[in-house]
Amino acid sequence: MEVLLCFVVGILFSVGLYFILHRHFFKLILGLMLFGLATNLFIFVIGRLTRGGSPIIAETSEVALEPFADPVPQALLLTAIVIGFGIQAFAIVLIRRVHQSFGTTDLDDLDTTEKIETPEKPEFE
Amino acid sequence: MLIVVLLGFILAFAAPLLHRVAGKYTYVPMALAALAAFVYFCSCLPAILEGALITQTQAWVPSLAINLDFYLDGLSLLFALLISGFGTLIMVYAGGYLKGDPLLGRFYLYLMLFMVAMLGVVTAGNIFSLFVFWELTSLSSYMLIGFKHQKEESRNAALQALLITGGGGLALMAGLLLLGNASGSYSFTELLNRGEMVRAHALYLPALVLICIGAFTKSAQFPFHFWLPNAMAAPTPVSAYLHSATMVKAGIYLLARLTPVMGGTDVWQYTLMLVGGSTTVLGAFLAVQHTDLKAILAYTTISALGMLVTMTGIGSAPALEAMVVFLLAHALYKGTLFMVAGNVDHATGTREINKLQGLGKKMLPTALAGALAALSMAGVLPFFGFIGKELLYEAALEESTTRTAMFAVTFFSGLIFVAVALVVGYRIFWRKTGRQTPLEHGNTPLLYLPPLMLSGLGLLLGLIPAMLATPILRRAAEAMLGEEQVFELSLWHGFNMVLFISLLTLLLGYLLYRFTDRLHALVPRLSRIYRFGPGTLFYKAVKALPDAAGVLTRSIQTGYLRNYITIIILTLLGFLAYALIPNSPSLELADRLPLIMNIRVYEFVLILLIMAALYMLHNSKSRLTSIAILGIIGYSVAVFFILFGAPDIAATQLLIETLTVVLFVLVLHKLPSFHNLTSIQTKIKYIMVSLLFGGTMTYVLLLVKQFPLDSRLKEYFGQASYLQGQGRNIVNVILVDFRAMDTLGEITVLAVAAIGILALFKLQLDKEEKP
């Protein structure tokens, strides 16, 4: 299973990177999200997999009993997922905003500030 | 010596203040300070002459074994006396030359700084002190050359000198460190006795090459010679002091200092003889082609420096003897001639020898100094230069293997020196001619006394060499040879071969002088060759650098996100390959094949689901479909987290995934649908990069999992989280207790993102504000 998951991670990385390399904003965001997923899985898999065995101490015991999953990568992942969400949210709003101002969804059109257009009606007020 | 150096630095930085108080008399305290240094070094004379060695140590950075050491032997003392004595005269001379200059205070600051730094170079007792002072001389030289900073020519010349000598300084630093490694000591007291060890060491050759580059750049040896003539943009006192008598001899000093350690090998001899010899010839050859007084003198200086390097390279007792004598003689006459040229320039406003005529009567003291120095330069009998020239011939003729070449070099430069001496000492002052160059104003005593004194010293040393010069020169030569040396200087060597050659030199040199004008007429035809000279190459390189930087920047900074990402990814892959390929760890996949069987059906289904979703995502043309598919992938990953004992992550992932989808739909639903922006070729390129990257990540993951994981943290948190953190969910305890600060940081990031999003929503550009 672990071996197969390694390949899943690789495929996720490939597709994510391929999407990031696109010129379209939307694909860029999709790529970023896939890339984030791949990274999270990467960390998770590298910290070894344990079926079942959540890192939760049973009511009857004072210390965790083997087998339990390594809590350290999990703690890292939790932080990573939340921060990743922050970035995604910001990116989504940013490209919305860029599209509103520039009227384009092509990254290559963003090489100048001359094209900024002020929308007739502000949408978010 | 520490006190001399410290007082010098203090006085240097006090110079601008002094100038405000003392005005045009600033030269008095400055000259007195230099004189004090001279007297101090004179007081060291008796001990040194008896063969003693004076060392002083001052702890500087003791923890790194870097100390401010001083080391004074015959060689150091010779240089120190030259620097401080000459310095005294130059301080006086500068007072006259730059009288009324509003920046005179600043000038004295640089000049004093230079003098102290130069004294530091020649008395340094270890390679660190040597290097620090060495760099200080480069810096002060830079500021002195660029003193007339309003002129572009000065600024360019200063920068060029700094780049060349500074670059050489870097090489020198590396070379000195290698030398220190090879000998096991950074201090001269020990280093100088470990010649055998160093010469046999594997680092000898690299150290030698680097140190030679340092010395050659500083002493304007071919092919680094071109900065020196340009440095003539400096005021004349600087040219006379730094660029003829002292700083350019720092390289010579370094080579001389290291002769006992590094000298004597074939590579040392031939390198120095080849570089020095070609510099001698080239400098002499270029000197007769110029009509600017200072340029002529600069090129003969290059030639003389080449001669000094050659003699150091030969390294035999007569050669080193000739080297120290010629060094002193050259400093005396060349310094004088520079000051004479400066006086002429000062009085008439020009340095073109074709415009200068019949100045003798109006500038009698200057003309006298010029004549004395020129006679010494030409090597006429009662002058010190004559002794120098004789010794050079003797040394060249005694050298066995390359005797003919060495003699030719010496003879050729001798001829040119005679011709140049006639131009500078005779032609501009006394040649019979109808008109006289008008003087703008006469020379003050401050201007003509220092050159008179220097040139008089040249005569005096020539007349009674045994009393004044021999003892210290003998000790200086001994410092290089490392053994006791019988050393007799006398004016009259009897009627022998060398005397005959000297007379022949004078005669042929005079003939050459008669042809100077015709030679100058030939110069324009030669100028085509100089297009390929190192000076031109340097100029082109300096101009090409920003262009190359521009091309490089434009090729890397394309402004396209995908190019940046491609470069980042490829760099990462490159580093991984660099680290992995030499070890070439193999993946023992065959051993792990049975492990693949260890899979539950639902897990397999999940993987299939992700693959299918990815495929659909790629083909989807609709945004809403894409968002939905992305949700599927996210949820599948979350299920994996549940299956492998990470319910907290799974919960977070599910929540975040839902939020993202909602955000997507709310915010991006108005964007236009996809259209194809990229060509097939580009797509294939990106697919290749992506596959390569994904493949590498899989490989790395498989490779890492081959090794056992040593997680003491897992055990620690398993033990401690209930007992210390009072929580049963270990992950939660880590987040809110053990690593609470990290979580606070995470919350901050979210808050910042939220503020950013709010700002983006609120941002409205007014039409008026648009640029």
Q: What is the DSSP string of B110-159?
A: HHHHHHHHHHHHHHB-BHHHHHHHHHHHHHHHHHHHTTSTTSHHHHHHHH
In the block, residue with structure tokens 């002058």: B383
Q: Which of A27, A42, A57 sits opposite B697 (nearest CB)?
A: A42
The whole-angstrom distance between B223's CA and the closest CA on chain A is 47
First to last CA, chain B: 64
Contact list in A for residue B731 (CB cut-off 8 A) is 55, 71, 74-75, 78
Per-residue pLDDT at B675 exceeds 70: no
A-B contacts (CB, under 8 Å): 279
CB contact under 8 A, A48 and B765: no
How confident is the model over B587-645, as pLDDT tens digits?
777 676 666 667 778 888 888 999 999 888 888 877 888 888 988 999 999 998 888 88
Q: Which of A8, A50, A56 sits opposite B610 (nearest CB)?
A: A8
In the block, residue with structure tokens 């074709």: B354
CB contact under 8 A, A13 and B693: yes
Of the candidate ranges B253-267, B441-455, B655-669, B753-767, the one whose mean pLDDT is the lowest: B753-767
Per-residue pLDDT at B531 exceeds 70: no
Contact list in B for residue A22 (CB cut-off 8 A) is 562, 677-678
In the block, residue with structure tokens 């580059």: B213
Mean pLDDT of chain B: 85
User: What are the b/e assignments for B521-534, b being 16+ CB within 10 Å?
Assistant: eeeeeeeeeeeebb
**Distance (Å, whole) CA B51 – CA B40:** 18
Structure tokens that stand for B697 in this block:
């990540």
Contact list in A for residue B734 (CB cut-off 8 A) is 71-72, 75
**Distance (Å, whole) CA B493 – CA B379:** 14
| Closest-approach residue (CA) in chain A for B635 | A37
Q: Which of A7, A55, A118 sits opposite B698 (nearest CB)?
A: A7
Integer CA distances (angstroms), B479 to B125, B143, B314, B740, in order: 14, 33, 16, 69
CA count, 13 A, side-chain hemisphere, B24: 8
The whole-angstrom distance between B575's CA and the closest CA on chain A is 18
Q: Which of A9, A17, A106 sits opposite B677 (nearest CB)?
A: A106
Closest CA to B210 of B254, B253, B245, B247: B254
| Closest-approach residue (CA) in chain A for B739 | A75
Q: In this predicted structure, what is the pLDDT of residue B672?
A: 66
Q: How far is CA A70 from the centre of its chain?
A: 22
Contact status, residue B401 vs residue B480, Cβ threshold 8 Å: no
Contact status, residue B55 vs residue B189, Cβ threshold 8 Å: yes
Q: In this predicted structure, what is the pLDDT of residue B253?
A: 92
The whole-angstrom distance between B595's CA and the closest CA on chain A is 7
**Distance (Å, whole) CA B748 – CA B742:** 10
| Closest-approach residue (CA) in chain A for B690 | A14
CB contact under 8 A, A59 and B728: yes
The whole-angstrom distance between B549's CA and the closest CA on chain A is 21
CB contact under 8 A, B702 and A23: no
| Closest-approach residue (CA) in chain B for A111 | B559
CB contact under 8 A, B677 and A64: no
**Distance (Å, whole) CA B305 – CA B309:** 6
Mutate to test the interface with A, among B599, B600, B627, B656 (most CBs of A within 10 A): B656
CB contact under 8 A, A63 and B723: yes
How confident is the model over B41-71, as pLDDT tens digits?
999 888 888 888 888 888 888 887 788 889 8
Give, to the nearest 10 degrees, the angle between helix B204-218 and helix B250-262. 160
Q: Which of B589, B600, B645 sits opposite A68 (nearest CB)?
A: B645
Closest CA to B389 of B474, B291, B478, B489: B489
Structure tokens that stand for B25 in this block:
């008399």
Contact list in B for residue A94 (CB cut-off 8 A) is 760
CB contact under 8 A, A38 and B749: no
How confident is the model over B174-188, as pLDDT tens digits?
999 999 888 888 888
Q: In this predicted structure, what is the pLDDT of residue B142?
A: 92
What sign does the CA torsion over B481, B482, B485, B490 have? Answer: positive
| Closest-approach residue (CA) in chain A for B691 | A14
> How is B9-20 classified by DSSP, letter by letter?
HHHHHHHHHHHH
CB contact under 8 A, B647 and A116: no
Mutate to test the interface with B, among A74, A82, A125 (most CBs of B within 10 A): A74
Q: What is the mean pLDDT of residues B256-270?
A: 88
**Distance (Å, whole) CA B354 – CA B78:** 38
Q: In this predicted structure, what is the pLDDT of residue B693?
A: 92
Q: In this predicted structure, what is the pLDDT of residue B771?
A: 43
Q: In this predicted structure, what is the pLDDT of residue B234?
A: 86
Q: In this predicted structure, what is the pLDDT of residue A10?
A: 92
> How is chain A classified by DSSP, letter by letter?
-HHHHHHHHHHHHHHHHHHHTSSBHHHHHHHHHHHHHHHHHHHHHHT---SS--SB--TT-SS--SS---HHHHHHHHHHHHHHHHHHHHHHHHHHHHHHHH---BGGG-S-STT----SS-S--
Closest CA to B130 of B82, B187, B185, B88: B187
Low-confidence ranges of chain A (pLDDT < 70): 111-125
Q: In this predicted structure, what is the pLDDT of residue B678?
A: 64
Closest CA to B618 of A42, A16, A85: A16
Q: In this predicted structure, what is the pLDDT of residue B770?
A: 44
Per-residue pLDDT at B527 exceeds 80: no
* φ, ψ at A97 (rounded to 5°): -65, -40
Contact list in B for residue A40 (CB cut-off 8 A) is 637, 649, 653
CB contact under 8 A, B649 and A77: yes
CB contact under 8 A, B686 and A82: no
How confident is the model over B504-526, as pLDDT tens digits?
888 888 888 888 777 777 777 77
Mean pLDDT of chain A: 81
ipTM confidence score: 0.88
Its pTM stands at 0.71
Contact status, residue B435 vs residue B348, Cβ threshold 8 Å: no
Closest CA to B242 of B296, B165, B349: B165
Higher pLDDT residue, B585 or B178?
B178
Q: What is the mean pLDDT of residues B716-730?
A: 86
| Closest-approach residue (CA) in chain A for B737 | A75
**Distance (Å, whole) CA B307 – CA B317:** 16
Structure tokens that stand for B195 in this block:
């010649």
**Distance (Å, whole) CA B432 – CA B18:** 46
CB contact under 8 A, A26 and B757: no
Q: In this predicted structure, what is the pLDDT of residue B599?
A: 75
CB contact under 8 A, A18 and B690: yes
**Distance (Å, whole) CA A50 – CA A69:** 5
Considering only CA atoms, give the Rg of chain A. Answer: 21
| Closest-approach residue (CA) in chain B for A58 | B728
Of the candidate ranges B27-41, B64-78, B127-141, B755-769, the one whose mean pLDDT is the lowest: B755-769
CB contact under 8 A, B735 and A78: yes
Closest CA to B425 of B460, B378, B484: B378
CB contact under 8 A, B746 and A83: yes
Instruction: Tell me the fold of A2-49+69-109.
Output: Helix Hairpins (1.10.287)
The whole-angstrom distance between B685's CA and the closest CA on chain A is 10
**Distance (Å, whole) CA B733 – CA B614:** 36
- Helix, coil or strand: residue B434: coil
SS (H, E, C) B197-249: HHHHCCCHHHHHHHHHHHHHHHCCCCCCCCHHHHHHHCCHHHHHHHHHHCHHH
**Distance (Å, whole) CA B683 – CA B525:** 60
Q: Which of B626, B730, B750 sits opposite A86 (nearest CB)?
A: B750
* φ, ψ at B358 (rounded to 5°): 55, 40
User: What are the b/e assignments for B466-499, b being 16+ CB within 10 Å?
Assistant: eebbbbbbbbbbbbbbeeebebebebeeeeeebb
CB contact under 8 A, A10 and B701: yes
- Helix, coil or strand: residue B56: strand
| Closest-approach residue (CA) in chain A for B664 | A92
CB contact under 8 A, A92 and B667: yes
Higher pLDDT residue, B8 or B467?
B8
* φ, ψ at B232 (rounded to 5°): -70, -5
Give, to the nearest 10 degrees, the angle between helix B27-49 and helix B2-22. 160
The whole-angstrom distance between A115's CA and the closest CA on chain B is 10
Closest CA to B340 of B312, B315, B376, B313: B376
Q: In this predicted structure, what is the pLDDT of residue B764?
A: 66
**Distance (Å, whole) CA B407 – CA B396:** 5
Pairing between β-strand B66-72 and β-strand B54-61 as defined by DSSP bridges: antiparallel
Quote the Cα angle for B707-B710-B716, to 5°.
Answer: 160
Mutate to test the interface with B, among A25, A30, A66 (most CBs of B within 10 A): A30
Closest CA to A64 of B708, B723, B649, B740: B723
Contact list in B for residue A81 (CB cut-off 8 A) is 649, 652-653, 656
**Distance (Å, whole) CA B26 – CA B108:** 8
Structure tokens that stand for B72 in this block:
């004074």
Closest CA to B231 of B181, B288, B294, B168: B294
Q: How many CB atoms lie within 10 A of CB B69?
A: 25
- Helix, coil or strand: residue B499: helix
Per-residue pLDDT at B488 exceeds 50: yes
- Extract long-range pairs of B262-266: CB within 8 Å, 24+ residues apart: B262/B179, B262/B195, B262/B198, B262/B199, B262/B204, B262/B207, B262/B208, B262/B211, B263/B195, B263/B312, B263/B315, B263/B480, B264/B195, B264/B199, B264/B315, B265/B199, B265/B204
Q: In this predicted structure, what is the pLDDT of residue B767?
A: 47
Q: How many CB atoms lie within 10 A of CB B553?
A: 10
Contact list in B for residue A12 (CB cut-off 8 A) is 610, 614, 694
| Closest-approach residue (CA) in chain A for B601 | A1
Q: In this predicted structure, what is the pLDDT of residue B643?
A: 86
Per-residue pLDDT at B765 exceeds 70: no
Mutate to test the interface with B, among A1, A5, A29, A41 (most CBs of B within 10 A): A1
Q: Which of B611, B630, B701 sits opposite A9 (nearest CB)?
A: B701
CB contact under 8 A, B668 and A8: no
